[in-house]
Amino acid sequence: MTMSEAKKTYYLTTPIYYPSDKLHIGHAYTTVAGDSMARYKRLRGYDVYFLTGTDEHGQKIERKAEEAGTTPQQFVDRIVDGIQELWTKLEITHDDFIRTTEDRHKRSVEKIFQQLLDQGDIYLGTYEGWYCTPCESFFLERQLVNGNCPDCGRPVERVKEESYFFRMSNYADRLLQYYEENPDFIQPESRKNEMINNFIKPGLEDLAVSRTTFDWGIKVPGDPKHVIYVWIDALSNYITALGYGSEDDSKYERYWPADVHLVGKEIVRFHTIYWPIMLMALDLPLPKKVFGHGWWLTLEGKMSKSKGNVINPVYLIDRYGLDAFRYFLMREVPFGSDGTFTPEGFIERVNFDLANDLGNLLNRSVAMIDKYFDGVIPAYEGVVTAFDGELQQAAALAVEQVEKAMDNMEFSVALTALWKFISLSNKYIDQTQPWVLAKDEAKRGELASVMVHLAESLRITSIILRPFMTKTPQKMWEQLGINEGSLTEWESIKTFGQIGGQRVAKGDPVFPRLDMEEERAYILQSMTIGMKPAQDDQSGAAAGAGAGSAGDERANQAASTAGTGGNGEAEVSDQKEEITIDDFAKVELRIAQVIAAEPVPKANRLLKLQLDLGYEQRQVVSGIAEHYKPEELVGRKVICVVNLKPVKLRGELSQGMILAASKDGQLTLATVPDSMPNGAIVK
């Protein structure tokens, strides 16, 4: 192949994530967006290079490792294993995974630092400022609050410390010029103004690019008491992964500059100020685009372990499938804006868009081809019915709009355009009324045309879905009787009417409808369990997770009272931290007698129990219906956790939980002899 025939390249990256904890839906978001774009560009014939990885140095990791009683390297190794498993689960098609603890990265970062030092862009100076020892942080005079640490309020000390500095200000003008000449460099546009007005215009200060207060990092060449600042280390990954500064830099030559760095909005500053300046100093080309997307939030604001509202992708994928999860992420929120995750929002997307619109179109079409044409898709004969032309135009428009949206990284816009076409295809069935045409032999040609139009619309839909969904397109092809090949390529959707002659195969619904109440309960519970389950996918962080006992109580309650999970929540209890006697004393356990029991309507696993605690009666909903008949329970004495925060399960109030042992699908209530009075304390 000569150079001019060579494929166009497309290099895209995600941030390299901190392996300080397991990753949540927010990290999955950036990575799925990157993967959708990578898959799209490959379909469009590009030679794609998609990079992700982990940012493993720094004080935070050093401390977490210490808390966990391991070396930093052991600590990150475990978490990185979990992160890589998560990407496998999400079917991420990255071409490389860079770890900043790898030699290939470290060697190249040392070279970069050395060059900047030799050139005089970096110099050794002294840092003077205010230091808060408990927070291990430096502050400028103006950041102090009444002379104290702005974070913890304690007194600060004046310190003078040796540090290497980067002369950032030398490059401010060139940077602004680059912004001007490349209006698409920072996306969305609003973030550009923020960078200019808040950071560049007020004047760039020289940046301290080394630290002497901790050890876990790449050492400054020739001055090992200094560790290279983590952002210099981290940002370099985008070129070290391509072999920059190594013996084989062919990938660097081929793929750099990056077509896009995908990042969350909070790190746009590092990617659009520090990184371009580093590259200018190294005399290297600048990335073409930095896209700063928005954040996933919950109704309580930011996700956080202490609020118990962290969304763990594994729960959603295990229960609803990968494609529903990926679709939801890319469809729900415009890329660039913040979005609020709610269980209802998720369930409605699955029910309306996937089960109803897409699922029904496929089912109805395949069933009709089966019924009216013995399962064989009729040949395409052009525009036959009064509605064929409009449907064909809608298909062409969808393709055009999707391509345009993808060029602008507007994933949700692309999917909205596709769903408009899916809705129109459903409407086309109502307009053409195939069941009426089928009654009239003279209308056989029209009926055939309707069938092939529907099959073709489904084929086009399946191909547009390929960047976003990893399994559904294949399932659709199986039902439509087409094999992967020329009929599944992107270019094939630009000419309507390629399908015909295939034998359809009825299949299961691609997306079953979800029960709002049941699934809402499941998702809410999974949010309270958050990142804690002993899921093998991201197992590494469990030891360092440090969740409080409240989290554990809720986790257990979710596991044994609701029982809607079925993916191992009960196993949470396997990996608990040591607690003190005081921690244990917070749990109030008492003997209770079951005085009535009945099933909860439409919830196979739940029983509603009335308990007598001696001093009061209360209701507890328990996930034991598959193991006990209501009548078996009445009269039994059980152990109840009475000071658990009440919850509503399937609309029923549950004030506490009863203890049970379970393993491998078996469950037995912890019972006590009848002689023990109701209300007696268990400890």
Mask of contacts with ligand MSP, 173-212, x by CB under 6 A? ----------------------------------------
Nearer to ligand MSP, 30 or 622 (CB): 30
**Among 22, 27, 106, 226, which residue sits at the site for ligand MSP (rule: CB under 6 A)?**
27
Nearest to 611 by CA among 564, 651, 659: 659
HEC string of 27-67 equals HHHHHHHHHHHHHHHHHCCCEEEEEEEECCCCHHHHHHHHH
Peptide bond before residue 257 is cis, with ω within 30 degrees of 0: yes
Cβ-based neighbour number of residue 3 at 10 Å? 5
Taking the complex as a whole, the smallest distance from the CB of residue 16 to ligand MSP amounts, in Å, to 5
Nearer to ligand MSP, 340 or 662 (CB): 340
Q: Which stretch binds ligand MSP (CB under 6 A): 26-34, 199-207, 548-556, 605-613?
A: 26-34
**Among 10, 11, 12, 18, which residue sits at the site for ligand MSP (rule: CB under 6 A)?**
18
d(CA 51, CA 15) in angstroms, rounded, equals 9
Query: Residue count at the site for ligand MSP (CB under 6 A)?
Result: 19
Nearer to ligand MSP, 131 or 335 (CB): 335
Nearer to ligand MSP, 292 or 378 (CB): 292
CB 251 within 8 Å of CB 243: yes
CA dist 437 → 363, 416, 419, 441, 653 (Å): 19, 31, 27, 8, 54
Residue nearest to ligand MSP (CB): 26
Taking the complex as a whole, the smallest distance from the CB of residue 296 to ligand MSP amounts, in Å, to 4
**Among 10, 11, 12, 17, which residue sits at the site for ligand MSP (rule: CB under 6 A)?**
17
Nearer to ligand MSP, 131 or 296 (CB): 296
Cβ-based neighbour number of residue 408 at 10 Å? 15
Nearer to ligand MSP, 101 or 365 (CB): 101
CA dist 642 → 97, 218, 588, 612, 636 (Å): 48, 52, 6, 11, 17
Q: Which stretch binds ligand MSP (CB under 6 A): 27-35, 215-223, 444-452, 605-613?
A: 27-35
Q: Does 29 bind ligand MSP (CB under 6 A)?
A: yes
Q: Does 53 bind ligand MSP (CB under 6 A)?
A: no
**Among 32, 175, 195, 234, which residue sits at the site for ligand MSP (rule: CB under 6 A)?**
234
d(CA 375, CA 426) in angstroms, rounded, equals 20
Q: Does 16 bind ligand MSP (CB under 6 A)?
A: yes
Q: Does 55 bind ligand MSP (CB under 6 A)?
A: yes
Residue 603 DSSP class: -
Cβ-based neighbour number of residue 576 at 10 Å? 15
Nearer to ligand MSP, 411 or 628 (CB): 411
Taking the complex as a whole, the smallest distance from the CB of residue 30 to ligand MSP amounts, in Å, to 4
Token pair for 92: 């991420």
Taking the complex as a whole, the smallest distance from the CB of residue 203 to ligand MSP amounts, in Å, to 24
d(CA 245, CA 238) in angstroms, rounded, equals 12
Q: Does 217 bind ligand MSP (CB under 6 A)?
A: no
Q: Max CA-CA distance within the chain?
A: 94
Nearer to ligand MSP, 329 or 398 (CB): 329
Taking the complex as a whole, the smallest distance from the CB of residue 183 to ligand MSP amounts, in Å, to 23
**Among 244, 255, 256, 296, which residue sits at the site for ligand MSP (rule: CB under 6 A)?**
296
DSSP helix/strand/coil, 230: helix
Taking the complex as a whole, the smallest distance from the CB of residue 117 to ligand MSP amounts, in Å, to 21
Nearer to ligand MSP, 26 or 336 (CB): 26
d(CA 208, CA 223) in angstroms, rounded, equals 15
HEC string of 365-408 equals HHHHHHHHHCCECCCCCCCCCCCHHHHHHHHHHHHHHHHHHHHC
Q: Does 34 bind ligand MSP (CB under 6 A)?
A: no
Q: Does 30 bind ligand MSP (CB under 6 A)?
A: yes
d(CA 226, CA 164) in angstroms, rounded, equals 8
Nearer to ligand MSP, 139 or 296 (CB): 296
Nearer to ligand MSP, 306 or 483 (CB): 306
Query: Helix, strand, coil: what percent of the chain each, to 5?
Result: 45, 20, 35
- Asked whether the CA dihedral 232, 234, 239, 244 is positive or negative, the reply is positive
Taking the complex as a whole, the smallest distance from the CB of residue 682 to ligand MSP amounts, in Å, to 41
d(CA 500, CA 497) in angstroms, rounded, equals 8
Torsion angle, alpha carbons of 241, 242, 248, 252, to 10 = -160
Taking the complex as a whole, the smallest distance from the CB of residue 26 to ligand MSP amounts, in Å, to 2
Q: Does 411 bind ligand MSP (CB under 6 A)?
A: no
Q: Does 26 bind ligand MSP (CB under 6 A)?
A: yes
Q: Which stretch binds ligand MSP (CB under 6 A): 25-33, 127-135, 431-439, 591-599?
A: 25-33
Q: Does 637 bind ligand MSP (CB under 6 A)?
A: no
Q: Does 357 bind ligand MSP (CB under 6 A)?
A: no
User: Left if phi > 0, otherwise alpha if psi is -120 to 50, otherwise beta: which for 131?
Assistant: beta
Which of positions 301-330 make contact with ligand MSP (CB under 6 A)?
A: 303
Which of positions 469-508 make contact with ligand MSP (CB under 6 A)?
A: none
d(CA 25, CA 11) in angstroms, rounded, equals 24
DSSP helix/strand/coil, 154: coil
Q: Which stretch binds ligand MSP (CB under 6 A): 14-22, 277-285, 419-427, 505-513?
A: 14-22
Q: How many CA atoms, within 13 angstroms, populate the side-chain half-sphere of residue 226?
A: 22
Nearer to ligand MSP, 325 or 511 (CB): 325
Mask of contacts with ligand MSP, 252-291, x by CB under 6 A? -----------xx-xx------------------------
CB 456 within 8 Å of CB 425: no
**Contacts of 187 by beta carbon, 8 Å cutoff, 6+ apart:** 289, 290, 291, 292, 336, 409
CA dist 516 → 129, 313, 322, 521 (Å): 56, 19, 19, 9
Taking the complex as a whole, the smallest distance from the CB of residue 23 to ligand MSP amounts, in Å, to 7
- Contact residues toward ligand MSP (CB under 6 A) are 15-18, 26-27, 29-30, 55, 234-235, 237, 263-264, 266-267, 295-296, 303
